[in-house]
Structure 1
């Protein structure tokens, strides 16, 4: 057919692709088309195949590019046309989408995380090839079948077969919901799901917004609880950039001397299990403050009933972080003092937390504990004066792993471990 056509027009057969080139492209076409989901195989790709069959690779490139652009526009629609302006800061609607130049469409898709940086780079090269070597414009030259196959592979991989299509979150709707009534289970699940599906940059920004709501003294308690619940559910998937942004926000409160927001931010990090990111100095302050509060309650009226929540908080803070060496003495002495109790007993509801913390003592913390009976602290007097306190101290000693006991206090450990056994 091609021979007859070129002869009828009186031109050389060489103006079209050679038969072996057409055969090469045709044989490799099914493998590339298999990458493209059925729903994306439109009439545009049918026309591309017909162009390949006749050796019109410049037309085939144009059809492949058109199919890629159509799908990228669909991705933006699925993201949410009403949400795009919240990300870009510019007005955006269907008409704007249709009037976008191909280069601007690629930039938008990259910003919305619909294509990767690699995909953007390769598709932008395809855009340049299409503009200069396809039938869409006067061509600078011709492409062979290998170059066409590479072109189609990029379009298929990064635009047509790439199902990465995050859905944008309506920021105003999220904030309005968080500041409304306390979330029920399905409502919380819905917002967590939406934030999980959006792209990293928007999720990072919204987590920062929720942190700000939680730390705002003027925010209602329901809004603070809603913000915390959402972030607690998302915390295991936080990216390094999200954690870094939260730490920066926290440090800003500290630098500005905004004590109410700073304290709230510390509690936010504690609830999310991220205290280790605040640095040793802040961790020292948190642990020593919690230890002092526990001892203060222990020494106050009705201590057996009031200790459990304070013991629980200290256990929660130290369970997720290594206790800085500078805070170890105050931490250990508080735990051991309360766990030993007094001549009237111990707070039974807090014992489980005390034992949990003692079992997790580091070698240096074990050394501090074993040296307490010879100190001038209250706990030393109780151990010397009351047999029940002495027995409870020995029970605490037996909770630690003997292999973690430092050599220089091994003889003290052995003596207490054998006491009353």
Structure 2
């Protein structure tokens, strides 16, 4: 068979624009579409934008090892889609590569530790056993859970959350008329490579992985537990909270061995002092859910876990806290999904039914209740779930002064801060401030509201501003 020689001018050389044959390829494709009677307008992005991608592609791929490049199938598809001028498809392939890498990282870290931190619904959590269940985790849960256990950084989470938003609303995943530029696309490629695909694990994340393995396969003595406990002093608040939730998940599973529970017995008292009140309350609520669902083995194990650190006071007095917490979990799961405009309203009505006509919710879930309402009220950045928003407004207007303060300070919450990258969410947050302003009597809180409204920078950056950090730390002391 005789092979046809390919002219040099057909090669893609990012340094010699004149050698690009993209215009010729495009011209042939447009002619074919015309002959077929198909649209030719707004199908392909301009050649100049494609050149911008190819010009920056070599430096963007430098952080990938040769093995990493050879395994990056979706990046090859990304390049092919860029060549064709289909940037919406290219973004979709880039996201596929990122999600594929995150799943591999989760599998090679600790799958159950991931599930325990990523999945808030206990009912859903019970259905997740091993890596074959990862396809039951949606993208928002995957990146959120990866952040929780340290597989990506806070900054990486924020960037990925934005790219996920763009993938959902500006890629070929859904019909749209958004225009993407080459510089945007290459920037997102660099983010995915730097924050996920080539990102090394932090030392603490590696040590937590070793600890989880050690707990499951070895016997930890009292003396060894004391030595391990010195490591807890290097934890951030989030790392301590996440490890506590992971240990709770291990301890309460019915197939956990006696030896593993004894290891946790020895370690937990050292860790407990680093766990915040919100997480302690959450574990108490989880015990209440086991009681409500008549999960007797899990209930007994959860009770024993709390007894190790004399934490029975965190168990809810009644079942109302567990019912509201379940409603919050279901609402958040729907809100972060693709079809939230249709799935949110009935779940919002269920939450309203449980809360009633007052702002009184059990103390154990107060912060989560407020932050959940703020997140859903801010929207997903793309549009308002109109049938649910009237309910959110009604519940927010019922806030007491303490809940209003939690809502105002919600910009310090990592997920809500990420939402504030979007103009619609920024607008809704300022609307929220006006709603809760009437609840505020403290002059310091009113001054904070005025400072937020006068802030000239992007609202998603406000939590990192040193003057606001001081205000937040001072006002958090007011929250009971």
Q: TM-score, normalised by structure 1?
A: 0.43
Q: Which of these two proteins has the greater Rg computed from alpha carbons?
A: 1
Q: TM-score, normalised by structure 2?
A: 0.38
